[in-house]
């Protein structure tokens, strides 16, 4: 067992988190993560309505007795989803841990705190981590530049970012982005983190509710097979390289605007990639950590193997490096 401030304060067996994943973070993903003793998050906005989220929470509870959380991603949108209603659905369902991401959690903190909910805010810079801490979050999850999804605009990789955050942040830190195995877990602990958060690695498990072809593509891919879209719009997102992401990059690089790529980047097309396994259908999110992924284990095998190998690295491999002279 590896015990950290995170495992104690969040009452989780292992210092491993499965962060929110649009279209992937459903009951089928989260329940086995909870059963394996890690902390999984349903993704609120994967559900079309707050009522559907309430049902998804209930469905997850039918699949596991262990606690799990809900991710609430706040992103710029022309017609934003009803965030206050999703928040109410989370609170009324009795969820005890929330992962916020995308934008400051300030508007949501009073209601979550009044309900006694622990909030982990996921961000991409030390300044945002400090800001979240000042708002009263219970932990920060910090995504390095390697991560799948939104790495922010600072382009600071996790090796620097986590260590820089650990110098200043006082609440527990969850290192996120680029972590897919025991080596990443041990490295994150060495940098000063109290746990790790993984997205891409959990996508590539037996239970992840996405098409087998997506999982096999992740296994076959390298660290070079992701690209950054929306750079010129300052809303960068790391996705898989395919014809659609290449086209989006080209159009924006040539001076195009969001309206010129709107149809290509439609969320529904990304959802169809996961449903049909047609890898060229739309944008799909994946991180550079796919380079480290060589198999499609069950969630339980993944979590238990990661912890066992991390213990072996710490006490078997690293311990003996220290010699008395």
Closer by beta carbon to ligand FMN, 21 or else 191:
21
Of 43 and 221, the one with the shorter C-beta distance to ligand FMN is 43
Q: How far is the CB of 21 from ligand FMN (least distance, A)?
A: 4
CA distance 133 to 273: 37
Beta strand pairing status for 39-43 and 237-240? Answer: unpaired
Distance in Å, CB of 311 to ligand FMN, minimum: 21
- In the complex, what is the shortest distance from the CB of residue 116 to ligand FMN, in angstroms, rounded to a whole number? 22
Kindly tell me which of 47 and 197 has the beta carbon lying closer to ligand FMN: 197
Q: Least distance to ligand FMN from the beta carbon of 181, Å?
A: 11
Which chain residues interact with ligand FMN by CB under 6 A? 19-22, 24, 43, 71, 73, 101, 122, 143, 146-149, 176-179, 197-201, 203, 285-287, 289
Which tokens belong to 210?
């996405």
Cα–Cα nearest to 23, from 193, 178, 214, 152: 214
Residue among 213 and 256 whose Cβ is closer to ligand FMN: 213
| Residues constituting the chain | 325
Burial class of residue 153 (count of CB atoms within 10 Å of its CB; 0-12, 13-18, 19+): exposed
Rounded to a whole number of angstroms, the minimum distance from the CB of residue 63 to ligand FMN is 20
**Is the CB of 103 or the CB of 256 nearer to ligand FMN?**
103
Nearest to 265 by CA among 286, 250, 281: 281
**Smallest gap from residue 184 Cβ to ligand FMN (A):** 9
Q: What is the DSSP letter of 193?
A: -
Which residue sits closest to ligand FMN, CB atoms considered? 199
Cβ closest to ligand FMN, residue 97 vs residue 176 = 176
């Amino acid at each position: 067992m590896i015990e950290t401030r995170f495992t104690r304060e969040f009452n989780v067996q292992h210092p491993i988190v499965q962060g929110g994943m649009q279209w992937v973070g459903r009951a089928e993903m989260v329940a086995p993560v909870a059963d394996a003793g890690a902390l999984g998050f349903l993704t609120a906005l994967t559900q079309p309505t707050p009522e559907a989220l309430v049902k998804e929470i209930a469905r997850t509870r039918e699949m596991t007795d262990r606690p799990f959380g809900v991710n609430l991603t706040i992103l710029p949108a022309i017609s934003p989803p009803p965030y206050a209603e999703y928040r109410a659905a989370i609170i009324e369902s009795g969820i005890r841990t929330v992962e916020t991401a995308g934008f400051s959690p300030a508007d949501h903190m009073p209601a979550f705190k009044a309900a006694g909910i622990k909030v982990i805010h996921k961000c991409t810079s030390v300044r945002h981590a400090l800001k979240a801490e000042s708002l009263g979050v219970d932990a920060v999850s910090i995504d390095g530049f390697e991560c799948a999804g939104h790495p922010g605009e600072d382009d600071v990789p996790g090796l620097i970012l986590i260590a820089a955050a650990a110098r200043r942040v006082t609440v527990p830190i969850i290192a996120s982005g680029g972590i897919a195995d025991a080596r990443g877990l041990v490295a994150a602990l060495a940098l000063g983190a109290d746990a790790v958060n993984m997205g891409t690695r959990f996508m590539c498990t037996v239970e992840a509710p996405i098409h087998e072809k997506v999982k096999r593509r992740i296994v076959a891919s390298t660290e070079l097979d992701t690209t950054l879209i929306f750079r010129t719009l300052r809303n960068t997102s790391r996705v898989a390289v395919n014809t659609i992401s290449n086209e989006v990059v080209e159009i924006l690089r040539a001076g195009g605007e969001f309206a010129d790529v709107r149809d290509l980047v439609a969320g529904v097309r990304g959802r169809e990639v996961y449903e049909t396994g047609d890898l060229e259908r739309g944008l799909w999110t994946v991180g550079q950590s796919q380079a480290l992924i060589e198999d499609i284990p069950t969630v339980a095998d993944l979590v238990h193997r990661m912890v066992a190998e991390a213990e072996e690295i710490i006490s078997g491999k690293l311990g003996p490096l220290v010699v008395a002279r």
